[in-house]
Chains A and B, each alone.
Chain A
Amino acid sequence: MTVRRIDEFTIALEGVCPVADAEALRQHLVSAKSAKIDLGACERAHTAVVQVILASEREVDGGAGSLFFEKFLELRASYSETRPQAARQQEKLRMREPFALPEV
């Protein structure tokens, strides 16, 4: 399984996460209400998985190994820390630097 609930506080994604992981991740997030998402070992994830991460508005760890996550989620995470929940709901994710998405 590429999605694992490590404990009450951490859900980890590993390797390449296929589309089916989206539902698994969602269920873990629903059951572990305060868990953050650890992307340290995740190389790439299907858009459906990315969408669940975005929708959850949870804190995200790691992702440094993947340019994609770095760009998409780091910023998401920084917003989560500084913005109140209500404002975040409307907030758009943005990137200011030129960047390249991972090769596929």
Chain B
Amino acid sequence: MSEFIDQFILESRELVETATRDLLALEQDPTDPQKLDSVFRAFHTLKGGAAIVDFSAMARAMHAAEDVLAVARSRSRPLTPTRVGECLECLDQVVQWLDTMQVSKALPDGAEAVADAIEARMAAEPESPKSGPAPDDWLHDLLEKHAAARLEAGCAFRYAPDRDCFFRGEDPVVLLGTLGDFLAIEVEPASPWPALDALDPFACNLVFTALTKKAATDVAAAFASVRRQVEIVPVGEAAEADAASSGLTPSAREVLRAQIRLLAVADAPGARGRVASAARTATNVLHHVGLPEHAARLEGETDPARLTAALEHMLGGEPARNAGKAAPVPASRDLAPRTLRVDTERVDRLVDLTGELIIAKNAIGHTTKLAQDSGSPFAAALKNQHTQLDNLIVELQKSVLRLRVLPLRHVFQRFPRLIREMSVKMGRPVNFATEGDDTEADKVIVEALYEPLLHVLRNAMDHGVEPTEQRTALGKAATATISLRGSRQGENVVVEVEDDGRGVDLVKVREKAVERGVASADALASYSDTEAIELIFSPGFSTASDISDISGRGVGMDAARTAIEAVGGRISIESRKNHGSVVRFVLPFSVMMTRVMTVAVGDQMFGIPLEAVVETVRAARETIFPIGGSHAFVLRNRTVPVIDLAETLDYRADRRASATATLLIISIAGQFGAIEVDRLGERMDVMLKPMDGILSGTPGLAGATLLGDGKVLLILDVQELLL
């Protein structure tokens, strides 16, 4: 059972992701048939999966959502934003259930009641968008009256301008005039005309319905500014929905069409069985939709040609369309990428083993050197083999790294919904766009991005994007734009969040920095704007005057920087007042290999991540002077604190003897520091392993790795040492 549940959880999560993405797309364009089909399939598969693991509550909930989607698919009622919201909530519930199941490995408690609630909500009549006839009524009327025009028509539409549309400067007649190519147009009052002396001439009470030769997409484009007020139905499919009302549901038609296709290849071996099976299926379908008289006509039919003709007749004589209908949406199986699902743990094990292999290779390198030094006759051969092994392992390492990459989509796709919700909650319309979501990076990096991006996007919504009236006053578009972009730049992955909001208010930043004691007024005076903007990353800094539940607890940017630096990345911000801000994350493609520089203190070697090292200098002992309890020295007119590594690590503090000090200049979060060491070693690529067991949480240590000679090299966390 547990095995089924694991598989079910895995698959369901993927389906939820797909469905969420497509639902959000449907909110933009509720008529996109492919997205609608995809969402429907996802819910359908979720329902099937739930049934397999005997999770009847979830199956019921999915079925309820499926019903709503089926109605939308048949076009008799479009998918309203409220309905999209309800379907999304339904998916949220599924995720909650999956989370519970992942932990408990059993079906969650209390699911039945939740499913009841979902069923009730889904079954409730949706709010009708406008008083007036139901959507399919107008379509039916229009097509009936203009039967001749229907042949030429590309689409039909119903344009019901809002009552207050004149006040927004809309002129529906002029807008209709821009479209052209009408076959028929009708205008009627939305509600019966009152007497003239009671008529409000500035409240629009008109509804236009029309047939045009133009395609649905062209009509949608022409009405883009009033899209919400217009309902567009492609006439080919409208005709189908129309016919469906005469008895055949869309799915029944689909099944009957499939039988026609089956019969078309019926001269192949096994033809008789196929004909019988097609007849039986068609009969069952017709019984199912309540057309037993049609079913009776097919019963026992064995001639494929006659059967085909009968089926085509029932479908309303549409043989020509079958071929076209068969093609448009390839079965999901054909589209499925050729991939193998592998447990992450197994991949991680492979990564670990590769790391061990690199260490073993380094050990052989060490042995080779020993052999060379001792003049062994095998030295040359050993060196040769070592080089080959080295090349192979580099290749292996690259391949293993590719195994663990994920597209940024993995994290990007979680945000459109969040932005949508915040946008609604705050009443600030936002156009959210993601780009480059197929850019790949190591799983660890991609997963580490979520929290920081969340903070940054919340900030963009809360502090960046102005309320609509302010934007209008500034002459900006009322709808703000927030973009989330990912790209690969050399060995780095760059992720940017850009908004066109008010930008960072530097005056306020400086004020708050003093108020919160992040920096002194004197120090601030010498800060350039670029330096001042960095202050927002300081711990305990927040410019939000009112703390909201969106952001503004003053932990956001500080936490974001910490998280990004923990995986070896950098975060920076550019901002222009009233033009917006760009927050840029620069991350390594992979976290597996770290370049370190080895340093020695006494007889102990340590590794220091090379990305933190700016340069190494030798300084005369007398240039290092004490300040308070610590030391500092002046490097190119900048005072840099000096930390004696030996002293910090409690080795020995007998440095005064040497005339010069060997210093590593380190840059962390824009701050400089110097670490004094005894000797500098070499640079090497190591596989950094986080400390676990008894050593985990040891301050100042980032991890450890094995050296060629079998010694353990401790890698220092310079950030903790310096700050």
A residues in contact (CB < 8 Å) with B: 19, 22-23, 25-26, 29-30, 45-52, 54-57, 68, 72, 89-90, 92-96, 98-104
Complex Cα distance, B184 from A72, in Å, reads: 12
Q: Name 19 interchain pairs, CB-CB below 8 A, sorted by A.
A: A25-B201, A30-B196, A46-B171, A47-B166, A50-B173, A50-B206, A54-B193, A68-B173, A68-B177, A92-B187, A93-B186, A96-B184, A98-B149, A98-B184, A100-B180, A101-B176, A101-B179, A101-B180, A103-B177
Interface residues of B in 534-557 (CB under 8 A from A): none
**Distance in Å from the Cβ of A27 to the closest Cβ of chain B?**
9
Complex Cα distance, B199 from A48, in Å, reads: 11
Partner of B201, one of A26, A90, A99: A26
**Distance in Å from the Cβ of A53 to the closest Cβ of chain B?**
10
Q: Judging by beta carbons under 8 Å apart, are A26 and B180 in contact?
A: no
Q: Judging by beta carbons under 8 Å apart, are B196 and A19 in contact?
A: no
Complex Cα distance, B199 from A23, in Å, reads: 9
Complex Cα distance, B196 from A29, in Å, reads: 8
Give 1 or 0 for each of B172-191: 1 = CB within 8 Å of chain A CB: 11101111111111111100
Which of A25, A26, A48, A99 has most B Cβ within 10 Å?
A48
**Distance in Å from the Cβ of A50 to the closest Cβ of chain B?**
6
B476 adjacent to chain A (CB < 8 Å): no
List of A residues within 8 angstroms of B149 by Cβ: 98
Q: Judging by beta carbons under 8 Å apart, are A54 and B187 in contact?
A: yes
Q: Judging by beta carbons under 8 Å apart, are B177 and A101 in contact?
A: yes
B325 adjacent to chain A (CB < 8 Å): no
Q: Judging by beta carbons under 8 Å apart, are B183 and A98 in contact?
A: yes
B293 adjacent to chain A (CB < 8 Å): no
B603 adjacent to chain A (CB < 8 Å): no
**Distance in Å from the Cβ of A6 to the closest Cβ of chain B?**
19
**Distance in Å from the Cβ of A85 to the closest Cβ of chain B?**
12
B197 adjacent to chain A (CB < 8 Å): yes
Partner of A72, one of B171, B187, B196: B187
Q: Contacts A26-B199, A46-B171, A47-B174 hold; do A92 and B166 have CB atoms under 8 A apart?
A: no
Q: Contacts A29-B196, A47-B173 hold; do A92 and B186 have CB atoms under 8 A apart?
A: yes
Q: Judging by beta carbons under 8 Å apart, are A96 and B146 in contact?
A: yes
B683 adjacent to chain A (CB < 8 Å): no
Q: Contacts A95-B184, A96-B146, A98-B183 hold; do A104 and B174 have CB atoms under 8 A apart?
A: yes
Q: Judging by beta carbons under 8 Å apart, are A26 and B204 in contact?
A: no
List of B residues within 8 angstroms of A50 by Cβ: 173, 206
Q: Judging by beta carbons under 8 Å apart, are A89 and B193 in contact?
A: yes
B residues in contact (CB < 8 Å) with A: 145-146, 149, 161, 166, 171-174, 176-189, 192-194, 196-197, 199, 201-202, 204-206
List of A residues within 8 angstroms of B193 by Cβ: 54-55, 57, 89
Besides the known contacts A98-B149, A103-B177, 5 further A-B residue pairs in the complex with CB atoms under 8 A apart: A23-B202, A50-B173, A51-B205, A55-B193, A99-B185
Q: Which 9 A-B pairs have the closest CB atoms?
A: A101-B177, A22-B201, A55-B193, A47-B173, A92-B188, A47-B172, A104-B174, A26-B201, A30-B197
List of A residues within 8 angstroms of B171 by Cβ: 19, 46-47
List of B residues within 8 angstroms of A54 by Cβ: 187, 189, 193, 206
Q: Is the interface of A mostly helix, strand, loop or mixed?
A: helix
List of A residues within 8 angstroms of B189 by Cβ: 54-55
Complex Cα distance, B196 from A30, in Å, reads: 6
List of A residues within 8 angstroms of B145 by Cβ: 94
**Which residue of B is nearest A98, CB measured?**
B183
List of B residues within 8 angstroms of A23 by Cβ: 201-202
List of B residues within 8 angstroms of A56 by Cβ: 196
List of A residues within 8 angstroms of B161 by Cβ: 47
**Distance in Å from the Cβ of B145 to the closest Cβ of chain A?**
7
**Distance in Å from the Cβ of B197 to the closest Cβ of chain A?**
5
Partner of A51, one of B184, B185, B204: B204
List of B residues within 8 angstroms of A25 by Cβ: 201
**Which residue of B is nearest A21, CB measured?**
B201
List of B residues within 8 angstroms of A103 by Cβ: 177
**Which residue of A is nearest B169, CB measured?**
A19
List of A residues within 8 angstroms of B172 by Cβ: 47
**Distance in Å from the Cβ of A7 to the closest Cβ of chain B?**
19
Complex Cα distance, B188 from A9, in Å, reads: 26
Which of A22, A51, A54, A92 has most B Cβ within 10 Å?
A51
List of A residues within 8 angstroms of B188 by Cβ: 92-93
**Distance in Å from the Cβ of B164 to the closest Cβ of chain A?**
12
Which of A29, A47, A89, A94 has most B Cβ within 10 Å?
A47
Complex Cα distance, B180 from A90, in Å, reads: 27
**Distance in Å from the Cβ of A8 to the closest Cβ of chain B?**
16
Q: Contacts A30-B196, A47-B166, A92-B186 hold; do A101 and B173 have CB atoms under 8 A apart?
A: yes
List of B residues within 8 angstroms of A101 by Cβ: 173, 176-177, 179-180, 182
Q: Contacts A48-B204, A96-B146 hold; do A55 and B196 have CB atoms under 8 A apart?
A: yes
Q: Judging by beta carbons under 8 Å apart, are B185 and A19 in contact?
A: no
Q: Judging by beta carbons under 8 Å apart, are A19 and B177 in contact?
A: no
Complex Cα distance, B579 from A80, in Å, reads: 58
Q: Judging by beta carbons under 8 Å apart, are B186 and A104 in contact?
A: no
**Which residue of B is nearest A71, CB measured?**
B185
Q: Judging by beta carbons under 8 Å apart, are A100 and B206 in contact?
A: no
**Distance in Å from the Cβ of B133 to the closest Cβ of chain A?**
11
Complex Cα distance, B161 from A69, in Å, reads: 20
List of B residues within 8 angstroms of A94 by Cβ: 145, 184, 186
List of B residues within 8 angstroms of A46 by Cβ: 166, 171, 173-174
List of B residues within 8 angstroms of A51 by Cβ: 201, 204-206
**Distance in Å from the Cβ of A84 to the closest Cβ of chain B?**
16
Complex Cα distance, B199 from A19, in Å, reads: 15
Complex Cα distance, B177 from A28, in Å, reads: 28
Complex Cα distance, B193 from A8, in Å, reads: 24
